Chains A and B, each alone.
Chain A
Amino acid sequence: MTDIIRLTAAQSAEKIASGELTAVEVTEAHLARIEAVDEKVHAFLHVDREGALAQARAVDAKRAAGEPLGPLAGVPLAMKDIFTTEGVPTTVGSKILEGWIPPYDSTVTKRLKAADVVILGKTNMDEFAMGSSTENSAYGPTGNPWDLTRIPGGSGGGSAAALASYQAPLALGTDTGGSIRQPAAVTGTVGVKPTYGGVSRYGMVAFSSSLDQGGPCARTVLDAALLHEAIGGHDPMDSTSIDAPVPPVVDAARSGDVRGMRIGVVKELGGEGYQPGVVQRFNESVEVLRELGAEVVEISCPSFVYALAAYYLIAPSECSSNLARFDAMRYGMRVGDDGTRSAEEVTALTREAGFGAEVKRRIILGTYALSSGYYDAYYGSAQKVRTLITRDFEKAFESVDVLVSPTTPTTAFPLGERVDDPLAMYLVDLCTIPVNLAGNAAMSLPCGLAPEDGLPVGLQIIAPALKDDRLYRVGAAVEAAFVKKWGHPLLEEAPQL
Chain B
Amino acid sequence: MTVTDLLSYEDALASYDPVMGLEVHVELGTRTKMFCGCSTELGAEPNSQTCPTCLGLPGSLPVVNAIGVESAIKIGLALNCEIAQWCRFARKNYFYPDMPKNFQTSQYDEPIAFNGYLDVQLEDGEVFRVQIERAHMEEDTGKSTHVGGATGRIHGASHSLLDYNRAGIPLIEIVTKPIEGAGVRAPEVAKAYVAELRELIKALGVSEARMEMGQMRCDVNLSLRPPGREKFGTRSETKNVNSLRSVERAARFEIQRHAAVLSSGGTIVQETRHFHEEDGSTTSGRIKEEAEDYRYFPEPDLVPVAPAREWVEELRAGLPELPRLRRKRLQEDWGIADHEMQSVLNAGALDLILATMAEGADAASARKWWMGELARHANETGTELAAVPITPAQVARVSALVAAGDLNDKLARQVIEGVLAGEGEPDQVVDARGLKVVSDDSALGAAVDDAIAANAAIANKIRGGNLAAAGALIGAVMKATRGQADAKRVRELVLERLGVQG
Chain A contact residues, CB within 8 Å of chain B = 83-84, 90, 92, 97, 100, 102-104, 106, 201-206, 208-210, 236-240, 317-318, 320-321, 324-327, 329-331, 343-344, 347, 367, 370-372, 375, 379
A-B contact pairs, 20 of them (CB 8 A): A104-B60, A202-B59, A202-B60, A203-B59, A237-B61, A238-B63, A239-B61, A240-B302, A318-B300, A321-B103, A321-B295, A324-B95, A325-B101, A325-B102, A327-B95, A343-B97, A343-B160, A344-B95, A370-B297, A372-B291
Q: Is B180 an interface residue (CB 8 A)?
A: no
In the complex formed, the residue of B with least CB distance to A326 is: B58
Rounded to whole angstroms, the CA-CA distance of A239 and B53 in the bound complex is: 13
* Total residues of chain B contacting the partner, CB 8 A: 30
Q: Is B24 an interface residue (CB 8 A)?
A: no
Query: Given the complex, which residues of B lie within 8 Å of A206, measured CB to CB?
Result: 58-59, 301
Q: Is B443 an interface residue (CB 8 A)?
A: no
| Beyond A370-B93, A371-B295, A372-B291, 15 additional pairs, beta carbon < 8 A | A90-B59, A100-B58, A102-B57, A202-B59, A206-B58, A239-B63, A240-B301, A317-B297, A321-B295, A330-B55, A343-B97, A344-B95, A347-B95, A370-B296, A370-B297
Cβ-defined contact, A205 with B95, below 8 A? no
Of the candidates A100, A202, A330, A347, the one whose C-beta lies within 8 Å of that of B61 is A202
Query: Given the complex, which residues of B lie within 8 Å of A347, measured CB to CB?
Result: 95
B83-110 vs A, Cβ < 8 Å mask (1 yes, 0 no): 0000000010101010011110000000
Q: Give the distance to chain A from B33, nearest Cβ to Cβ, in Å.
A: 14
Q: Is B56 an interface residue (CB 8 A)?
A: yes
Rounded to whole angstroms, the CA-CA distance of A308 and B367 in the bound complex is: 72
Of the candidates B56, B293, B295, the one whose C-beta lies within 8 Å of that of A330 is B56
B65-95 vs A, Cβ < 8 Å mask (1 yes, 0 no): 0000000000000000000000000010101
Cβ-defined contact, B93 with A240, below 8 A? no
Known contacts A325-B56, A343-B160, A370-B93; A375 and B61 CB within 8 A of each other: no
Q: Is B233 an interface residue (CB 8 A)?
A: no
Query: Given the complex, which residues of B lie within 8 Å of A372, measured CB to CB?
Result: 291, 293, 295
Rounded to whole angstroms, the CA-CA distance of A239 and B102 in the bound complex is: 20
Query: Given the complex, which residues of B lie within 8 Å of A320, measured CB to CB?
Result: 93, 295
Cβ-defined contact, A84 with B58, below 8 A? yes
In the complex formed, the residue of A with least CB distance to B91 is: A321
Query: Given the complex, which residues of A lie within 8 Å of B91, measured CB to CB?
Result: 321
Cβ-defined contact, A321 with B93, below 8 A? yes
Of the candidates B93, B97, B296, the one whose C-beta lies within 8 Å of that of A329 is B97
Rounded to whole angstroms, the CA-CA distance of A239 and B302 in the bound complex is: 6
Q: Give the distance to chain A from B369, nearest Cβ to Cβ, in Å.
A: 51
Pick the most buried of A90, A236, A321: most chain B CB atoms within 10 A of its CB: A321
In the complex formed, the residue of B with least CB distance to A92 is: B58
In the complex formed, the residue of A with least CB distance to B160 is: A343
Q: Is B403 an interface residue (CB 8 A)?
A: no
Rounded to whole angstroms, the CA-CA distance of A157 and B99 in the bound complex is: 34
Q: Is B64 an interface residue (CB 8 A)?
A: yes
Cβ-defined contact, B58 with A90, below 8 A? yes
Q: Is B320 an interface residue (CB 8 A)?
A: no
Known contacts A103-B52, A104-B52, A325-B102; A205 and B58 CB within 8 A of each other: yes
Chain B contact residues, CB within 8 Å of chain A = 52, 55-64, 91, 93, 95, 97, 100-103, 160, 162, 291, 293, 295-297, 300-303
Cβ-defined contact, A238 with B56, below 8 A? no
Cβ-defined contact, B303 with A329, below 8 A? no
Of the candidates A102, A236, A327, the one whose C-beta lies within 8 Å of that of B58 is A102
How many A-B pairs fall under 8 Å by CB?
Answer: 101
Query: Given the complex, which residues of A lie within 8 Å of B63, measured CB to CB?
Result: 236-239
Cβ-defined contact, A106 with B59, below 8 A? yes
Query: Given the complex, which residues of B lie within 8 Å of A343, measured CB to CB?
Result: 97, 160
Known contacts A324-B103, A327-B97; A203 and B60 CB within 8 A of each other: yes
Cβ-defined contact, B58 with A97, below 8 A? yes
Q: Give the distance to chain A from B229, nearest Cβ to Cβ, in Å.
A: 28
In the complex formed, the residue of A with least CB distance to B37 is: A237
Known contacts A239-B302, A329-B97; A83 and B297 CB within 8 A of each other: no
Query: Given the complex, which residues of A lie within 8 Å of B58, measured CB to CB?
Result: 84, 90, 92, 97, 100, 102, 205-206, 325-326, 331
Cβ-defined contact, B297 with A379, below 8 A? yes
Known contacts A236-B63, A237-B61, A239-B63; A209 and B300 CB within 8 A of each other: yes
Query: Given the complex, which residues of B lie within 8 Å of A331, measured CB to CB?
Result: 57-58
Query: Given the complex, which residues of B lie within 8 Å of A326, measured CB to CB?
Result: 58
Of the candidates B93, B162, B296, the one whose C-beta lies within 8 Å of that of A324 is B93
Q: Give the distance to chain B from A383, nearest Cβ to Cβ, in Å.
A: 9
In the complex formed, the residue of B with least CB distance to A332 is: B58
Query: Given the complex, which residues of B lie within 8 Å of A318, measured CB to CB?
Result: 297, 300
Rounded to whole angstroms, the CA-CA distance of A360 and B91 in the bound complex is: 20
Query: Given the complex, which residues of A lie within 8 Å of B102, measured CB to CB?
Result: 324-325, 327
Rounded to whole angstroms, the CA-CA distance of A401 and B91 in the bound complex is: 37
Query: Given the complex, which residues of A lie within 8 Å of B64, measured CB to CB?
Result: 239
Cβ-defined contact, B59 with A83, below 8 A? yes
Rounded to whole angstroms, the CA-CA distance of A379 and B108 in the bound complex is: 16
Q: Give the distance to chain A from B61, nearest Cβ to Cβ, in Å.
A: 5
Q: Give the distance to chain A from B356, nearest Cβ to Cβ, in Å.
A: 46
Query: Given the complex, which residues of A lie within 8 Å of B303, measured CB to CB?
Result: 239-240
In the complex formed, the residue of A with least CB distance to B92 is: A321
Cβ-defined contact, B295 with A367, below 8 A? yes
Query: Given the complex, which residues of B lie within 8 Å of A210, measured CB to CB?
Result: 300
Query: Given the complex, which residues of A lie within 8 Å of B296, measured CB to CB?
Result: 370, 375
Q: Give the distance to chain A from B25, nearest Cβ to Cβ, in Å.
A: 22
Rounded to whole angstroms, the CA-CA distance of A343 and B57 in the bound complex is: 19
The 5 closest A-B pairs by CB, nearest first: A324-B102, A370-B295, A209-B300, A210-B300, A203-B59
Q: Give the distance to chain A from B298, nearest Cβ to Cβ, in Å.
A: 9
Query: Given the complex, which residues of A lie within 8 Å of B59, measured CB to CB?
Result: 83-84, 90, 102, 106, 202-206
Cβ-defined contact, A238 with B61, below 8 A? yes
Rounded to whole angstroms, the CA-CA distance of A90 and B91 in the bound complex is: 26
Rounded to whole angstroms, the CA-CA distance of A330 and B60 in the bound complex is: 14
Rounded to whole angstroms, the CA-CA distance of A317 and B91 in the bound complex is: 11
Query: Given the complex, which residues of B lie within 8 Å of A371, measured CB to CB?
Result: 293, 295
In the complex formed, the residue of B with least CB distance to A212 is: B300
Of the candidates B61, B93, B97, the one whose C-beta lies within 8 Å of that of A201 is B61
Rounded to whole angstroms, the CA-CA distance of A371 and B56 in the bound complex is: 23
Rounded to whole angstroms, the CA-CA distance of A238 and B452 in the bound complex is: 89
Query: Given the complex, which residues of A lie within 8 Å of B60, measured CB to CB?
Result: 104, 202-203
Q: Give the distance to chain B from A439, nearest Cβ to Cβ, in Å.
A: 12
Rounded to whole angstroms, the CA-CA distance of A347 and B94 in the bound complex is: 13
Pick the most buried of B58, B61, B91: most chain A CB atoms within 10 A of its CB: B58
Rounded to whole angstroms, the CA-CA distance of A103 and B52 in the bound complex is: 8
Rounded to whole angstroms, the CA-CA distance of A379 and B91 in the bound complex is: 14
Q: Give the distance to chain B from A120, nearest Cβ to Cβ, in Å.
A: 20
